[in-house]
Structure 1
Amino acid sequence: MEITYIGGPTALISLGGVRLLTDPTFDAPGEYPIGARKLVKTAGPALAATEVGAVDAVLLSHDQHPDNLDASGRTYLAGAPLTLSTASAYDRIGAPVRAVPSWEHVELPRPDGGLLRVTAVPAQHGPDGSEPIVGEVTGFALSGDGLPKVYVSGDNASLDVVRDIAGREGPFDVAVLFAGAARTPLVPDAPLTLTSEDAARAAGILGARHVVPLHFEHWGHFTQDGATLTKAFAEAGLTDRLHLLEPGASVRLP
């Protein structure tokens, strides 16, 4: 498989010949309103939407926040053959979004004649009880004969959720973890995504031999970054598992 980091939560995953795009965000830096607040984007994507090219599916953790789906991302969705996401995203966007409840799956054809299974898994975008405030979120587990098993967390902040996923779908070869310890006044007392320390703990829980962080930079509401990820994985003795990519860079994983 190969993962190309585009920026923020957006990455291109090629697995078994199937091309998947996570949370499309292609807008320029600036202020983006969400309710009465604004989120500040500090850097644009390393690749434009036109440079990404066609994909087989979009894995959309959620649609309600502009740092996970922006205006350019919505335009990209309109041309995508399939977007897998939450029931709430389907209610708001309609086609081409397909709602996949947690633990249910969709099978995508591979060029070699096999199938790539995409299983929706839970995600908790903040502390316990925060879903009515922040909204519904999903993650994904990717698997198939002869392929590494991959976990894509989406905006999940809960290690209990990670343990549940590891118990039902693990162990995983690769973990794509949304980190950054995001904080906003909406939920002032707890992070909305994994801290760097919890990302390292999640790697251990999942049994992941490779970890590719996403969504830890390029927005003002992140409180941790690549340096804190590097430190946390080093302190956990997991430096060899961490693949901290520069925007536009790719990594091939066994």
Structure 2
Amino acid sequence: MSAGLSRQECAVTVLGGPTAVIDIGGLRVVSDPTFDPAGPQGHLTKAAGPAVDADAVGAVDLVLVSHEAHPDNLDVRGRAFARTAPLILTGPVAAERLGPPATGLSPWTTHALPRPDGGGDLTVLAVPAVHGPEDGERDANGDVNCEVTGFVLSGQGLPTVYVSGDNASIRTVAEISRRVPDIAAAVLHAGAARVPAKFGGRPLSLDSRGAAAAAAVLGAHTVIPAHYDGWAHFSEGLPEIERAFHEAGLSSLLRVAPHGTWVPLAP
């Protein structure tokens, strides 16, 4: 049993894979929960379990699910964990598949949660994501690969936090930056996920140089990489991410901590 994660005033910790815990405004938010042990997951292979198990995360106020179609973003134990939360926010297609307590948000729509810290509401804005190359074949809903949703968290006196989900599109990041110009921190899925049978093996999520470019476009002062380890289909890891940020002159933005260790966020 992992030691419990103590509540923070405003901080993020990545638990491995895409899973991040965000304490903000008196709320505990978990994105893309994946708590299964290492082993095969359909056509994918999980190489390592989470640094902290679901019991140690404790009660949560909100779960964000970028997409439920792939087990590296929502595995069996992650689904069970998500359903213990009072609210799941995700895309409309994923919400229909998940059922209660999931609520579907189309891109550029919001959901407000009262904050226990007395600061008003935490506003969650759904933003687009492209789970593959821009020229990838799109389904009937206009999605590449599948529906994927990113999220922006904001509120009075709080840093604005962007959680990318599995997005490979810098054009999409630029659109988000234009519409939300005050993003202070970004949790970027940056492992350059590749599946040979899809899109000629091109990245399905940001590669390292793309993550550095996204950081520059967003203007965030804190960038926390996620979804770069724990699964066999990631083609780039932390060394490549650190090198790309160094070559771009953006190393001062990158915040890397051992999984399960908090990274404080400044207002």
Which TM-score applies when normalising by structure 1?
0.96
Q: Does 1:119 align with 2:125?
A: yes
Whole-Å separation in 2 of the counterparts to 1:189 and 1:31: 20
Query: Which residue of 1 is the match for residue 18 of structure 2?
Result: 9
Residues 5-44 of structure 1 correspond to what in structure 2 (within 5 A)?
A: 5-33=14-42, 38-44=43-49
Residues 119, 142 of structure 1: 8 Å contact kept:
yes
Amino acid at match of 2:66: S
Amino acid at match of 1:22: S
Q: State the superposition RMSD in angstroms.
A: 1.0
Quickly say closer, same or farther: Cα 1:140–1:110, change in 2 above 3 A.
same
Q: Does 1:71 align with 2:76?
A: yes
Query: Which residue of 1 is the match for residue 4 of structure 2?
Result: none
Q: Which runs of 5+ in 1 are unaligned?
A: none
Whole-Å separation in 2 of the counterparts to 1:152 and 1:139: 6
Query: Which residue of 2 is the match for residue 235 of structure 1?
Result: 247
Number of equivalent positions: 250
Whole-Å separation in 1 of the counterparts to 2:201 and 2:137: 11
Residues 127, 190 of structure 1: 8 Å contact kept:
yes
- Residue 188 of structure 1 aligns to a residue whose secondary structure is helix
Query: Which residue of 2 is the match for residue 163 of structure 1?
Result: 174
- Residue 233 of structure 1 aligns to a residue whose secondary structure is helix
Out of 86, 90, 101, the residue aligned to residue 91 of structure 2 is: 86
Listed one character per residue, the Cα deviations across residues 182-235 of structure 1 (whole Å, up to 9, x for unaligned) are 000223242000010010110010000000011011100000000001000011
Whole-Å separation in 2 of the counterparts to 1:233 and 1:131: 31
- Residue 96 of structure 2 aligns to a residue whose secondary structure is helix
Whole-Å separation in 2 of the counterparts to 1:170 and 1:83: 26
Quote the offset at 1:5 in angstroms: 1.4
Listed one character per residue, the Cα deviations across residues 156-197 of structure 1 (whole Å, up to 9, x for unaligned) are 000000000000012311011001000002232420000100
- Residue 209 of structure 2 aligns to a residue whose secondary structure is helix
Whole-Å separation in 1 of the counterparts to 2:209 and 2:222: 16
Whole-Å separation in 2 of the counterparts to 1:209 and 1:246: 20
Residues 125, 131 of structure 1: 8 Å contact kept:
no
Whole-Å separation in 2 of the counterparts to 1:243 and 1:252: 10
Q: Which runs of 5+ in 2 are unaligned?
A: 1-9
Whole-Å separation in 2 of the counterparts to 1:248 and 1:130: 37
Quote the offset at 1:112 in angstroms: 2.5
Residues 123, 137 of structure 1: 8 Å contact kept:
yes
Whole-Å separation in 1 of the counterparts to 2:182 and 2:212: 15
Whole-Å separation in 1 of the counterparts to 2:137 and 2:256: 29
Quote the offset at 1:130 in angstroms: 4.1
Whole-Å separation in 1 of the counterparts to 2:162 and 2:138: 21
Instruction: Give the fraction of aligned pairs with identical amino acids, expressed as a percent.
Output: 50
Quote the offset at 1:42 in angstroms: 0.5
Whole-Å separation in 1 of the counterparts to 2:130 and 2:164: 10
Quote the offset at 1:90 in angstroms: 1.4
